[in-house]
A = this chain, B = another copy of it.
Amino acid sequence: MDLKDFRQHAHQLVDWIADYLEDIEKTRIVTEVKPGEVRAQLPHHPPQQGEPFAAIWQDFQSLIFPGMTHWNHPGWFAYFPANHSPPSLLAEMVTAALGAQCMSWQTSPAATELEQVVMAWLQEMLGLPSNFVGCIQDTASSSTLVALLSAREVATQHQFGRQGSSAPEATKMRVYASKEAHSSIDKAVKLAGFGLDHLRKIPTDKDFAMDVEALKAAIERDLAQGLHPTCVVASLGTTSSSAIDPLEAIGKICKQHGIWLHVDAAYAGAAAILPEHQGMLQGIEDADSFVFNPHKWLLTNFDCSAYYVRDVHALLATFQSSPEYLKTAYDPQVVNFRDWGIPLGRRFRALKLWFVLRSYGVEGLQAILRHHIALAQDFAQRLDAHPTLERMAPAPFGLVCFRHRPEGWGPDAPRLDLHNQTLLQQLNQDGHQYLTHTRLDGRFVIRVSIGQRETQQAHIDHLWQTILDALPNLP
């Protein structure tokens, strides 16, 4: 395929993409393929000779596309949103074409400096302290691991006066997070070598937010035993129910004891661009690190996780590496983002964020988020007004958790979980919407996550109607 062919095929794909997005509601949101079905239709061996693009594209349309789940369908209520947007797609095209490795300033100066600019813009939009500095990571999972590794390194240096935290030093370190914190915290605690059994899962209050008194007690208990409380992870918007840990109170405890405070706002952090939601960040100046994902609710293609730290020296002490073959003449004057995380290679991810922030403007993005939150509030009110549908958690953002509890069934009736699993299956059979579940206090709960860019009132009305239609037929 030469560039003449590329030009022709790329124009063809642009039309396919625009058609796909225009007609996305005609596509079944979740595929009906069964495990192994796609793979069984593909050759076991790579082709020896090159094939014309027409053949590849034909196979894409007939074999791959029908097996895809459509995350950008406006009936997307599953997990959290993974939005893209037209300007973000344009930027992805340019990023791919430039194909620049943005590991060091020298290897793509404009990419590094644009990343500094858009991270500062986001920082201002969210009202993060001006002494924070940010960079783009791939995911919140990786960012949390980066935070825990930094916390480990700082604690090692403080406690043992040396660098390159070797394993033994971590023996007495302890990490704290609410029992509703994301599974990536458990994973990061394990990977960073703290030992899974050294993660203290702090109980939550009735709204699923961390119980600060319990945190305080756990830390004091550990201190009394000669252990080293090293890191607390506060969640702003948990995955199960978007619960908000009391950041300010947690920050005071961390400050008092010199504990690294990492704030995981992967989903809900985007809502802090709304002045009416910035309250959740009260106390953020005591945090050491903060992460949220523009690739969830801020219309920017995955991957784009915004990671901020208060003390960049802690980050560099953990991740910096400067072998001869990467040294450049400008190193003393510039930021080399390869030293801010795990991977050496980096894509030019700032470009999509720049295209999105400029295309929508702050007010445009605020309007979209407010619209989603209003839809969620409307849905929550319908639940609250219904005699047998139960809202299972506060819904401050776009996520609403509910279940159906028939009249006369107690809150822990044995059949309730199965009853709601069946309800969820029926809602998903529809093909126009997709929802997933969680458990809160051990109870099976249906999550309605409203945040896909194109989701409108009509989609909520449709969801509501399918719920009402399903209820009479449940076991």
Contacts and interface: CB of A to CB of B under 8 A. Distances in A.
A471 interface: no
Contacts of A11: 11, 14
Interface string A172-205: 0100000000111011001111111110000000
Contact of A117 (B39, B87, B165, B326): B39
Given A7-B18, A86-B5, A165 B193 contact: yes
A155 to B, nearest CB: 11
A4 B85 CA distance: 13
Contact of A321 (B187, B325, B343): B187
A152 interface: yes
A319 B114 CA distance: 34
Contacts of A3: 18, 21-22, 86
A466 B79 CA distance: 57
Given A42-B114, A166-B193, A357-B47, A345 B138 contact: yes
Nearest to A83: B99
Contacts of A276: none
Contact of A71 (B100, B140, B192, B239): B100
Interface stretch (A118-126, A254-262, A375-383, A404-412): A118-126
Nearest to A31: B109
Interface in A228-249: 239-240
A67 B357 contact: no
Interface string A356-371: 0111111110000000
A266 to B, nearest CB: 10
A357 to B, nearest CB: 5
B171 A195 contact: no
Interface residues of A, number: 154
B187 A121 contact: no
Nearest to A52: B359
A83 B321 CA distance: 24
A87 B1 contact: yes
A191 to B, nearest CB: 6
A90 B439 contact: no
Interface stretch (A141-149, A210-218, A387-395, A455-463): A141-149
B139 A344 contact: yes
Within the oligomer, what is the number of copies of this chain? 2
Nearest to A89: B96
Contacts of A66: 110
B358 A56 contact: yes
A36 B358 contact: no
B168 A436 contact: no
A122 B20 CA distance: 31
Contacts of A169: 167
A7 B15 contact: yes
A342 interface: yes
A222 interface: no
Given A38-B114, A53-B90, A345 B67 contact: no
A71 B99 contact: yes
A164 B195 contact: yes
Contacts of A432: none
Contacts of A79: 101, 107, 325
Interface string A59-95: 0100111111111100000010011111111101110
B321 A183 contact: yes
A97 interface: yes
A364 B46 CA distance: 12
A44 interface: yes
Contacts of A67: 108-110, 113
B109 A33 contact: yes
A35 interface: yes
A468 interface: no
Which are the 4 A-B pairs with shortest beta-carbon distances?
A166-B195, A67-B110, A193-B193, A167-B170
Given A53-B359, A187-B342, 19 more contacts: A9-B90, A17-B94, A31-B109, A33-B110, A35-B109, A36-B333, A43-B117, A60-B94, A60-B351, A66-B110, A67-B110, A71-B108, A84-B96, A99-B302, A139-B345, A166-B198, A168-B170, A183-B322, A302-B347
